[in-house]
Structure 1
């Protein structure tokens, strides 16, 4: 189990292999939810409060940077882009991408402690399956690969 994302990254990866975007406060998190029309699950909110967003091995775990609409690593920017260009359903928001071909998303239609992570294929413009039972499970599996 990973108790601190920052500590795990620092202890297990070379400094050149990752970047941390900074923390997000409750007001920034609420603004991002409002801009997307979704509710973030508790485990995702914890991630946002601890690291904001991260890039690991050129893969993004999207979150809440200071500039929600244009900032690097922005869940708002990436989700708006996916909705406009690939018809991502409105209840989903993008949490992960490594190649922009398959996006990992959470269902933000209601607030729950955890929400299932699903894969969305941008070429087929549809959901293609389940990735993990929660954001935390998906992040831990990725980091421990």
Structure 2
């Protein structure tokens, strides 16, 4: 086995262990208001995501600390680190709808991968969106 294959195997094993740990945590039961109803028609793709709503971003700190920090704290599997404006800029430019979709459904791209709901299916869609808003707010 060559050095590149060994490193790839090690990275995959580390990712599997990290994501496996994600699923074993219980999400805190917050008495948050239900998620707002989606708009009737989706707007055209945005050139850039608007600034994160401060209230929603603040709600995202808890799920970030519970789940997202495992990858976004250290840049595991190509995850852009919290506060890294250069790494977040091209992602933010895709618009919030795309960021939400990738965080909720998962995404694999050239720079890395994002497991659906950060690998923790017990997170609500609103918690995931709030965590996205939190991360975006730290990169703007």
Is the shorter-chain TM-score for this pair beyond 0.5, marking a shared fold?
no
Q: TM-score, normalised by structure 1?
A: 0.28
Query: Between Structure 1 and Structure 2, which shows a larger proportion of helix residues?
Result: 2
User: Which structure has the larger Rg over C-alpha atoms?
Assistant: 2
Q: TM-score, normalised by structure 2?
A: 0.28
Query: Between Structure 1 and Structure 2, which shows a larger proportion of strand residues?
Result: 1
The answer to which structure, 1 or 2, has the higher relative contact order (CA under 8 A, 6+ apart) is: 2
